[in-house]
Structure 1
Amino acid sequence: MKQQNKWREKIVYFMKDRYGQNDVLNKHILFLSFVSLIIYPFTNYYIFLIISLLLLSYSYFRTLSKNKEARKKENEAYRKKLSPIRFQLLKFKNRDSYRYLKCPNCKQKIRVPKNKGTIRVTCPKCHHEKEMKT
């Protein structure tokens, strides 16, 4: 038990000033690495093995990096690129119960319930009111 605590303390000390977070970018990098590693035996193309190892190395680099601000910026930039895709998936998932409209004033996307007839919609961004058909 004492030996286990010693190792735990060493690991905690080693990771003290490091990024060490499993953020969205790291999760997706590890997933792509895993997929590439699974594809490799079926295709026998070494490029999949190399891609997998490079992605895994990059993930470890990000985890063990001491430059926390740079890693946070990378993750935020990745999340910004990913947000339109996530919005489209959400729209597709909710297509039966919601309709997505644009505010005519500021072009903000507004979600309104479907099949409610004509309703007065207030934009949360610019507070412009308009009657719209759902």
Structure 2
Amino acid sequence: MNFLRRFMYGRYGVDQLSIALLILGVLLSFISTATNIYFINLLSIVIIALTYFRILSRNTYKRAAENLKFLNFWNPIKDKTWLPLKKQFTTFTKGAKDKNHKYFLCPSCRQTLRVPKGQGKITVTCPKCKNQFSKRS
């Protein structure tokens, strides 16, 4: 174990870009296995080798700058795709715990709204964007 610690001392290690490259390399490897396209297999090997190069690199400033550029590119994409799914999941789990209220997402701004159960069909007004929509509570 001490050998591994001494070997990794001063090296960059794993970051978000390394994880993304490793996932991409493994996916391309599966695709090349399924399709028998040599170029995709070669590309997956190069990407996985680049991942290990980044992990074992001693030039930490350059690797951190690469990771920062990747995060500046990736975070807006992640926020547009993952955040609405995450919000729907938390709305679902809140509704499972609360027996007296029903939770909805505003169709325009995706704000979580809580209304009392058993009121029938009601018009809900979002306090954030003032959008009105009808739902059954």
- Decide: shared fold, TM above 0.5: yes
Distance in 2 (CA, whole Å) between partners of 1:118 and 1:36 is 44
Which residue does the alignment assign to 2:40?
A: 48
Which residue does the alignment assign to 1:9?
A: 2
Change (3 A) 1:82 1:133: same
Which residue does the alignment assign to 1:73?
A: 65
Which residue does the alignment assign to 2:130?
A: 133
**Contact 1:33/1:56, CA 8 A, preserved across alignment:** yes
Q: TM-score, normalised by structure 1?
A: 0.67
Superposition pairs of residues 101-112 of structure 1, within 5 angstroms: 112=111
Deviation at residue 99 of structure 1 after TM alignment:
5.6
Superposition pairs of residues 13-24 of structure 1, within 5 angstroms: 13-20=6-13, 22-24=14-16
- Which 5+ residue runs of structure 2 have no aligned equivalent? 89-103, 114-122, 132-137
Cα deviation digits, residues 7-28 of structure 1 (max 9, x gap): x2222212111011x2111111
Distance in 2 (CA, whole Å) between partners of 1:69 and 1:62 is 11
RMSD (Å) for aligned C-alpha atoms = 2.3
What is the total number of aligned residue pairs between the two structures? Answer: 106
Cα deviation digits, residues 69-115 of structure 1 (max 9, x gap): 111111111111011111111454236524665xxxxxxxxx64457
Equivalent of 1:85, from 65, 77, 82? 77
Cα deviation digits, residues 34-78 of structure 1 (max 9, x gap): 111111222111111111110011001100111111111111111
Which residue does the alignment assign to 1:105?
A: none
Change (3 A) 1:112 1:53: same
Distance in 2 (CA, whole Å) between partners of 1:76 and 1:66 is 17
Q: Tell me, what secondary structure is at the counterpart of 1:133?
A: coil
Superposition pairs of residues 109-128 of structure 1, within 5 angstroms: 112-114=111-113, 116-117=124-125, 119=127
Q: TM-score, normalised by structure 2?
A: 0.65
Change (3 A) 1:58 1:98: farther
